[in-house]
Structure 1
Amino acid sequence: MLQKLTKENSTVPARSVFLTCSGFETRAISAAKKFAEFGTQFDKSILATYNDPKNSSAELAFQPILRGLTEHPQASCVVPLEGATSFRKRLKAELTDVDHVYCDITGFNTPAMFEALSGIMDSGKSMNVVYTEASEYSPSRQEFEEFFCEGREEDLFSVEEYEMSSFAYSKACEVDFISGFEGVVSPGYPYFLIAFLPFKRSRLGAVLQQIEASRRLLISGDPVRTDLKWRAWALEKINQDILDHNASQHKKLSTLDLKQTLDFLEETIRNMSIQYRYNIVVAPLGSKIQKVACWLFGCRNPRVSVLQSNPVEVFADSYSHGAQDTFISSDLRALFKGDF
């Protein structure tokens, strides 16, 4: 499903477009640089931009690279991320003269990524997802172990101190349903919540306060890279009290296996007849690839509600550092269809 981007697999078919986003992380521009290095040529490139002055330097860095990815510089355009509906319509219009879309999700936040992928789906074009991992994610192991150490009991003060720290994002969060993925709520039916564990439990705590679920399924990410394996333990440590109350409903899934996550979500609601007995809510607070799986799951099952717990503040300087491998998926259209 996902393979590492190399020069050997970097050739794209005719009438292809590269869609990316000027995110604040260093790795956001990495895929564009790699395609340029490999000599990949697209018919068009599209840069989605945030309406945020802090991102202006990132936008300027992207533009010459994207112009170099096309034969004609005028084939490169900018689409502002202003309003979910208008962005989706504008994106669909930009895709009328192409057949294949390579969407780099690295710089998109969750709501914008859902809109971008949905816009591509609306266009009926083939869709390959591109994603670059960071060299290091916040918090680092050393930073994390200042608050938590394996085998040591933590007090409430150390847990709260970690939650208040300036790692990645703020403790304060706002919970809302993702536009277009509000699902269908049947009055009188209980809620079944499927939540991916975040690196600050306050994000999940905000979801639990809003959704009074009679059943919960918690999913933690299992990193593929050896140097990130410690984060699987760290994730469970952060959310320990929530896991203790849901011991029988906890599953580990790879952070980079889109198909594994999608298949697990589908099997869960079908094997347990969940779709006939509950209002299903999904909170994709895990890895970016797991979020793509949640987007596919929502597309295939329109009765499912998908919500996001958005931090009030993101600490851009400490969110992640550097860039490592870039991955590219096969065409996602085969996974669109589903029954509910």
Structure 2
Amino acid sequence: MDLPKITKFSQVDIDSPTSLVAVAGFEDRARAIFEEFSRRDDASLISSATSIQYEPFNSRNNINALKKGLSSLGISDDSTQSMVFDRHDPNSFESDFSDFLDSISENHVILDVSGMSKLLIIISLQILAEKDFSVTIYYAEADKYHPREDEYTKKLQSSEDSDRTPAFLTNGIYDIVTTRGLSSALGSDQSMVVVAFPTFNHQELMALTSELSPAQLVSIQGSPRMEKNQWRKESIRELNEGVESHIQVDWRETSTFNYRQTVEVLNHVYEDYSDKYRIVLAPTGSKLQTVGCHLFKYQHPDIQVVYPVTREFSETYSEGWDNTWGIVFESLDDAIITENEKYQQKISNLRSKIDEMNDTMDSV
């Protein structure tokens, strides 16, 4: 079985009792799923939910909108489990979310990643895969992403210190965190390569390289789906090129939207580096790239996942929402196992070809 395609959510059928996992986010698109289901006949199949609130508390995270949205689906307080995701200390969420999944009768979960942090996405998917749930990922694209091109240019030009690169969307790094479930199965005696995705906050890559002291950085640029957003790719590259003065950088590229391409690119990185290096992955890219990061991590338990937690978020992050998408995993665990078997077969075939070439050369 191939990894499932991304489809318009309007084409996704919900045909069994379902539990919804949603978060109180500060982006408008965190509310998209409730408007979506207000127009659907299968909304009644959502019979339980977990509502996630972020800590440290941020008044912009719209808790009331989440409560109102769940109520609009007819989900009672008794059928809703509230829990906290502490960005500074995410370990406790693993056990809380695991306990919630053990308590529900539904075998199908809708995970709304639209308003989720990347760290929350990868932790949630890791636990859902371990529990072998049927999972539908719901994703609402923002209508407008900040910074706009004119905002970006203006801030660069108005920077008081020409030698100091400004940060956008987020600012500062609180700490680099991980969880027990995202830890590596291997020790730390090997040299390290850090794999990360550059963003408008160049401080993330700088923090990863300065705190972890890797021998190599693999920086995977994101290529936006929409032509109008293509300028962002080169601008992000420009903001992050300063890291090259501190460490050797291997630049790669993948789609911000096509999560399957992200898995493919990460597997190429694994092929190139895993024999000599311990790989540490920081899923700092887009939300759908983070879905790909989860699948890659689950395929390769020797991968360590870390995340640079930022101190501040911009007042303007994104606006509204446009298209809504779904990825349906009938069995998340089976999909990953099958994909890993295909990957291992590909590696085996490649090694066989290399052996054949070596045998041919030896016989000459």
Q: With structure 1 as the length reference, what TM-score do the two structures score? A: 0.86
Paired residues in the alignment total 326
Aligned partner letter, 1:84: F
Pairing of 1:1-340 with structure 2 (within 5 A): 1-6=5-10, 9-41=11-43, 42-51=46-55, 53-55=57-59, 58-70=62-74, 73=76, 76-82=79-85, 83-95=92-104, 97-148=105-156, 157-158=161-162, 160=164, 162-163=166-167, 167-242=168-243, 249-270=250-271, 272=272, 274-315=273-314, 317-331=315-329, 332-337=332-337, 338=340
Distance (Å, rounded) in 1 between the aligned partners of 2:61 and 2:8: 28
Distance (Å, rounded) in 2 between the aligned partners of 1:79 and 1:62: 11
1:254-302 deviations in whole A, cap 9, x for unaligned?
10111110122123213x3x32321111111110111111122112211
Runs (5+) with no aligned partner, structure 2: 86-91, 345-364
Distance (Å, rounded) in 1 between the aligned partners of 2:81 and 2:117: 17
Query: Which moves more between the two structures, 181-190 or 285-294?
Result: 181-190
Change (3 A) 1:50 1:267: same
Q: With structure 2 as the length reference, what TM-score do the two structures score? A: 0.81
**Are the counterparts in 2 of residues 84 and 179 from structure 1 also a CA contact under 8 Å?**
no
Distance (Å, rounded) in 1 between the aligned partners of 2:55 and 2:234: 37
Change (3 A) 1:328 1:309: same
1:72-103 deviations in whole A, cap 9, x for unaligned?
646740321252233223322343x1121110
Task: Determine helix, strand or coil for the equivalent of 1:323.
Answer: coil
Query: Which moves more between the two structures, 116-125 or 25-34?
Result: 116-125
**Are the counterparts in 2 of residues 67 and 76 from structure 1 also a CA contact under 8 Å?**
no
How much does 1:12 deviate?
A: 0.2
Task: Determine helix, strand or coil for the equivalent of 1:318.
Answer: coil
How much does 1:310 deviate?
A: 0.8
**Are the counterparts in 1 of residues 217 and 249 from structure 2 also a CA contact under 8 Å?**
no
How much does 1:13 deviate?
A: 1.4
Aligned partner letter, 2:282: A
Larger Rg: 2
How much does 1:142 deviate?
A: 0.9
Change (3 A) 1:51 1:244: closer
Distance (Å, rounded) in 2 between the aligned partners of 1:263 and 1:58: 36
Change (3 A) 1:91 1:159: farther
**Are the counterparts in 1 of residues 122 and 294 from structure 2 also a CA contact under 8 Å?**
yes
Task: Determine helix, strand or coil for the equivalent of 1:279.
Answer: strand
**Are the counterparts in 2 of residues 173 and 206 from structure 1 also a CA contact under 8 Å?**
no
1:122-143 deviations in whole A, cap 9, x for unaligned?
3221112111121222222111
Distance (Å, rounded) in 2 between the aligned partners of 1:279 and 1:220: 21
Change (3 A) 1:313 1:74: closer
Runs (5+) with no aligned partner, structure 1: none
